[in-house]
Amino acid sequence: MNTQVNLEAKTEFVEWFNQRWNNRMGAIDGFDVAFIGALLASQKSSTIVEIGCASGLSTAVIASLQEQISPARLTSFDIDDRFYEDRTKPVGYLIEEALPHPSVDVSIQTGKVSLDVGEHVSDPIDFCFIDAAHKHPWPLIDTLAVLPLMKPGGVVVQHDLKMFLSVDFYATGPKILLDQTPPKSQIRHGSVASVPEFKNLKTRGRDGNIYAIRVPEDYRQLGAKLCQGFYLGWDVAPSKKISKQFADRFIDFLSLHYGPAVARSFKIGMKRYNSPIRTPAPSSEPQGHATSISRKIVNKLTK
Ligand SMILES: C[S@@+](CC[C@H](N)C(=O)[O-])C[C@H]1O[C@@H](n2cnc3c(N)ncnc32)[C@H](O)[C@@H]1O
């Protein structure tokens, strides 16, 4: 299937987007919209999920584009209930301003994460857009959390691939996930048909910041490959370490849906990269030779 969105609607859409988008809001840009639009048009999605709603710009974009394609239900999840760039605004406030989308039923779930999706979405998911926490391993966690709920042949879209190149917003999550994804399951920005009218959308000027993973018949096989990413250095900030409560819940989920080997890879990553920071015990020992000898002994015992 490749549905063409009608031209008049596209012009109105381009105006709507350009009036609301700015470079500071951390939202999808025109290149990303073109990619998402082409993917939506290439399949008939009836169940759509988004992780990371923020202002609701991407939610409104997906609803407007999907309106031109087929009826659907779109559920957007966010851990927060306020828009992070302007705390006076609720998460998803731009949905109110979206172009009419009578055939696309949108709901926003705040205070929720990817592990909560199953409680709110019962039909198999055709299209999932992940744009939440980008520090590794969050995109991997979110992907493994939704894969068992996806329809085979569906797509999981990942935003902000290029964050591993950023100085101010460094995060390797989307890049490490892509590197674990078998090439046959990858959908890269150059491989989807472009939408000519979308060249008028505002962008950050750098294409290729988005990709998708095609869900295979057996999601477990894909999960077994993706989970290798847990062994690679995590870049979660010390202040944002993964809590024991979340980790326990996620381990149960992995064991249930993927089996013990995948759960074990997460546990090893937790141990390697998410252990509490040890503060050195106060010592009355004089600094210098004696300290370095005792440190050598400790190192021997712990390495
Ligand atoms: C980059 S913004 C999303 C931008 C939005 N997709 C757009 O293009 O308009 C990331 C959002 O993800 C949310 N978030 C961060 N970590 C999350 C998590 N673990 N689960 C769900 N949402 C999360 C943040 O609160 C923030 O609103």
pTM above 0.75, yes or no: yes
More confident residue, 236 or 44: 44
Work out whether strand 104-110 and strand 125-130 pair parallel, antiparallel, or are unpaired.
unpaired
Number of H helices, E strands in the chain: 10, 7
Work out whether strand 125-130 and strand 72-78 pair parallel, antiparallel, or are unpaired.
unpaired
| CB distance 139 to ligand 1 below 6 Å | no
User: Would you say 227 and 177 are in contact if contact means Cβ atoms under 8 Å apart?
Assistant: no
User: Would you say 266 and 250 are in contact if contact means Cβ atoms under 8 Å apart?
Assistant: yes
Q: Cα separation of 23 and 140, whole Å?
A: 26
pLDDT band at 303 (very low <50, low <70, confident <90, very high): very low
Residues whose CB is less than 8 angstroms from the CB of residue 116 and which lie 6 or more positions away in sequence, other chains included: 77, 109
Q: Which atom of ligand 1 is nearest to the CA of 91?
A: 27
Instruction: Please give the distance, rounded to the nearest whole angstrom, from the Cα atom of residue 103 to the centre of ligand 1.
Output: 25
Tell me which residue of 153, 221, 163, 219 sits closest to 187, measured CA to CA.
153
Q: Which atom of ligand 1 is nearest to the CA of 52?
A: 12
| CB distance 39 to ligand 1 below 6 Å | no
Instruction: Please give the distance, rounded to the nearest whole angstrom, from the Cα atom of residue 289 to the centre of ligand 1.
Output: 50
Instruction: Please give the distance, rounded to the nearest whole angstrom, from the Cα atom of residue 131 to the centre of ligand 1.
Output: 6
DSSP states along 102-170: TTEEEEEEES--GGGHHHH--SPEEEEEE-S--STTHHHHHHHHHGGGEEEEEEEEEE-GGGGG-SSS-
Residues whose CB is less than 8 angstroms from the CB of residue 217 and which lie 6 or more positions away in sequence, other chains included: 152
Write the pLDDT tens digit of every residue in 47-60. 999 999 999 999 99
Instruction: Please give the distance, rounded to the nearest whole angstrom, from the Cα atom of residue 13 to the centre of ligand 1.
Output: 23
| CB distance 99 to ligand 1 below 6 Å | no
* Nearest residue by C-alpha to atom 4 in ligand 1: 27
Write the pLDDT tens digit of every residue in 198-239. 889 999 998 899 999 999 999 999 999 999 999 999 997 767
| CB distance 131 to ligand 1 below 6 Å | yes
| Both structure tokens of 181 | 């994804």
Work out whether strand 186-188 and strand 210-214 pair parallel, antiparallel, or are unpaired.
antiparallel
Instruction: Please give the distance, rounded to the nearest whole angstrom, from the Cα atom of residue 169 to the centre of ligand 1.
Output: 14
| CB distance 77 to ligand 1 below 6 Å | yes
Domains along the chain?
7-218 (3.40.50.150)
| Both structure tokens of 234 | 């995590």
Q: Cα separation of 115 and 127, whole Å?
A: 17
User: Would you say 219 and 150 are in contact if contact means Cβ atoms under 8 Å apart?
Assistant: yes
* pLDDT exceeds cutoff 60 at 2: no
Bridge partner list, 78: 110
* Nearest residue by C-alpha to atom 8 in ligand 1: 27
Run of H or E including 213: strand 210-214
Mean pLDDT for all residues in the chain: 89
Q: Which atom of ligand 1 is nearest to the CA of 84?
A: 27
Residues whose CB is less than 8 angstroms from the CB of residue 148 and which lie 6 or more positions away in sequence, other chains included: 219, 257, 258
pLDDT at position 299 is 38
pLDDT at position 192 is 82
Write the pLDDT tens digit of every residue in 103-120. 999 999 999 999 999 999
* Substitution candidate for ligand 1 out of 32, 74, 78 with most atoms within 8 A of CB: 78
Whole-angstrom CA distances from 92 to 33, 96, 106, 110 are 17, 8, 10, 9
* Substitution candidate for ligand 1 out of 76, 80, 93, 135 with most atoms within 8 A of CB: 80
Please state, as a whole number, how many other Cβ atoms lie within 10 Å of the Cβ of residue 219: 20
* Nearest residue by C-alpha to atom 16 in ligand 1: 133
Write the pLDDT tens digit of every residue in 167-201. 999 999 999 999 999 999 999 988 887 777 788 99
Q: Which atom of ligand 1 is nearest to the CA of 114?
A: 20
